[in-house]
């Protein structure tokens, strides 16, 4: 197969996707690599020049790579993930609106174009988790204990673009990260960015039927094939707090081969059917009509 990977500068030396590209080469496939943030692109020609079997995106949120992927999709090319699905998770405000409207257990989410506007959130919603709507890798995530702490945080948040704020979900200080690769789900446990003082190494953990069913539901709701989700085990059950297209797949055994195989299957038009999708669980109650 002939594939085109869109790789942002941040990931040019990263194991994901560098090892995936090497594995595909070793299997005899041709892989071109475009660096959206480091090259001038003639948009009217770039998506048709290579006649690739599929385009694969591994770029930062808010970077130019998604535009190229969407251009390839508009020209009728196969994309991994589906280009129509990616923007719906990279914009965390949009992701929350989509997820809650489709019944996913996600926190009430407020969006603010300026940090000062967060002052209008009712005190009853505190403590709040505040982060950029287009952030990634746990960057610029803040725990706001009370309204009187907001003025000190405003200068830090200014310049971050659209912000989201969600009521804090009480938890043990660790996130469950679930990765979906082809037909399989893998779970890891890692320290929450809100609790950096807690010693906790990222490690593989067993995946419960409830969280597996939730992970399958997330893929169906957003239309993703290769993805990850962050889950908190709150007092009322698991809560989804983030969804990522093409994540790091850390701790996934033989990740490069598994991801490479999944890319080839998707490029060939084969859609994964995770066995865990058949697992059912009682839905977590979700309020209707929350303000975004």
Domain locations in the chain as residue ranges: 2-90, 108-167, 174-278
CB-side exposure of 153: number of CA atoms within 13 Å?
24
pLDDT of residue 291: 35
Least confident residue range of 34-38, 53-57, 178-182: 34-38
**Cβ neighbours for 72, distance < 8 A, ≥ 6 positions apart:** 4, 47, 52, 55, 79, 83
pLDDT of residue 98: 98
pLDDT band at 37 (very low <50, low <70, confident <90, very high): confident
Answer whether residue 268 shows pLDDT above 90.
Answer: yes
Answer whether residue 10 shows pLDDT above 50.
Answer: yes
Answer whether residue 249 shows pLDDT above 80.
Answer: yes
Pairing of strands 163-167, 2-7: unpaired
pLDDT of residue 51: 81
How many residues belong to the chain?
292
> Distances from the Cα of 264 to the Cαs of 12, 94, 227, 246, 272, in angstroms?
21, 29, 16, 14, 12
CATH topology of domain 2-90: Rossmann fold (3.40.50)
Answer whether residue 239 shows pLDDT above 70.
Answer: yes
**Cβ neighbours for 42, distance < 8 A, ≥ 6 positions apart:** none
Cβ-defined contacts of 70-78 (< 8 Å, 24+)? 71/43, 71/46, 71/47, 72/4, 72/47, 74/47, 75/47, 75/48, 77/47, 77/52, 78/53, 78/54, 78/266, 78/267, 78/269
Answer for the pair 157, 163: CB distance below 8 angstroms, yes or no.
yes
For residues 82-95, give the mean pLDDT.
95
pTM of the model: 0.88
pLDDT band at 276 (very low <50, low <70, confident <90, very high): very low
Q: Which CATH number does the domain 108-167 belong to among 3.40.630.30, 3.40.50.2300, 3.40.50.300, 3.30.1490.20?
A: 3.30.1490.20
Mean predicted lDDT score pLDDT of the chain: 88
pLDDT band at 50 (very low <50, low <70, confident <90, very high): low
pLDDT band at 55 (very low <50, low <70, confident <90, very high): very high
pLDDT of residue 274: 56
DSSP state of 272: P
Topology match between the domains 2-90 and 108-167: no
Residues 174-278, CATH architecture: 2-Layer Sandwich (3.30)
For residues 1-18, give the mean pLDDT.
86
Answer for the pair 160, 140: CB distance below 8 angstroms, yes or no.
yes
pLDDT of residue 119: 98
């Amino acid at each position: 197969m002939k594939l085109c990977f869109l790789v942002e500068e941040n990931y040019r030396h990263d194991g994901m996707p560098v090892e995936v590209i090497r594995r595909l080469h070793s299997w005899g496939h041709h892989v071109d690599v475009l660096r959206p943030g480091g090259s001038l692109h003639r948009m009217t020609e770039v998506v048709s020049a290579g006649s690739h079997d599929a385009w694969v995106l591994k770029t930062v949120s808010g970077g130019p790579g998604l535009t190229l992927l969407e251009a390839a999709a508009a020209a009728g090319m196969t994309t991994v993930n589906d280009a129509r699905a990616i923007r719906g998770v990279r914009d965390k405000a949009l992701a929350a609106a989509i997820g809650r409207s489709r019944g996913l257990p996600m926190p009430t989410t407020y969006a603010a174009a300026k940090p000062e506007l967060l002052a209008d959130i009712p005190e009853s919603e505190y403590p709040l988790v505040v982060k950029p709507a287009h952030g990634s890798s746990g960057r610029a995530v803040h725990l706001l204990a009370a309204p009187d702490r907001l003025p000190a945080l405003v200068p830090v948040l200014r310049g971050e673009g659209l912000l989201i704020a969600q009521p804090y979900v009480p938890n043990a200080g660790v996130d469950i990260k679930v990765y979906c690769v082809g037909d399989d789900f893998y779970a890891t446990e890692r320290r929450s960015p809100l609790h950096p003082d807690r010693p906790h190494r990222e490690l593989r953990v067993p995946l419960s039927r409830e969280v597996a069913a939730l992970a399958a539901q997330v893929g169906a709701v957003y239309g993703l094939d290769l993805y990850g989700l962050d889950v908190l085990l709150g007092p009322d059950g698991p809560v989804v707090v983030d969804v990522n297209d093409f994540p790091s797949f850390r701790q996934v055994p033989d990740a490069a081969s598994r991801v490479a195989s999944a890319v080839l299957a998707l490029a060939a038009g084969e859609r994964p059917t995770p066995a865990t999708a058949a697992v059912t669980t009682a839905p977590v109650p979700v309020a209707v009509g929350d303000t975004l």
